[in-house]
Amino acid sequence: MYRWEITRAVLAQRVFAVVRTDSYDKAAATAGTLLSAGLTGLEISLTTPFALEAVTTLTREVGDEAVIGAGTVLDAQTARMAVDAGARFLVSPSLDAEVIRTGHRYGVPVFPGVATPTEMVRALELGADALKLFPASGQSPRRLRDIRAALPQAPLVPTGGVTLEDAPEWIAAGAVACGIGSALAEGDRAEVSRRVSDLLRRLADAAPGEKGGDTSE
């Protein structure tokens, strides 16, 4: 797949899961539950012990049914290790030109972390495939709407503090997707499946231009 195809696949559901745990076993179990619930985009944070091994295992198991990425990628060396482990996309909490260059060198999209319009423009100049608005807890859908008025070309992905309740507000404000962590995976498989199905429906309804979506400025 080309970079643009991978990017489109990761963002297609308007949400991807962020898995950050304190063990490999928990990460694998959480990822398995979320993928079984129907999510098709998921990142394993490299703060998780043996995260690269989890990326390798999941990528092999899901094949083309989902897109597995690596998160908290801070430098070029780690980016290359993640790509070698099978990560299909890279996410970072910060903006580092070498992470973007390394991912692109091997055909892997990169979503760097940004917090200000200056960082957003710089990330676009560096060729970032989407922009992780981080932390979202320090932002708001209203501010995102204002940013989008000035930078409509910026594909923003709020992450870090996005809740199941306010995720549709971010999408309605112009976010292309949201990254959501542990709140997605609480409970048993049946509960997670219901939660994911409900969230996907609400995000689709909230998307500007979609039936039932908010098209106001």
From the list 26, 53, 132, 191, the catalytic residue is 132
Q: Which letter, b or e, does each residue of 97-124 get, where b requires 16 or more Cβ atoms within 10 Å of its Cβ?
A: eebbebbbeeebbbbbbbbeeebbeebe
Q: Is the separation of the CB atoms in 52 and 78 below 8 Å?
A: no
- Is residue 52 within a helix (H) or strand (E), and if so which, with residue range? helix 51-62
From the list 26, 43, 119, 191, the catalytic residue is 43
Structure tokens at 17: 């899961």
Say whether 61 is catalytic. Answer: no
Cα–Cα distance measured from residue 19 to residue 179, given in angstroms and rounded to the nearest whole number: 10
Structure tokens at 174: 């112009």
- Is residue 55 within a helix (H) or strand (E), and if so which, with residue range? helix 51-62
Q: Cite the active site residues.
A: 43, 132
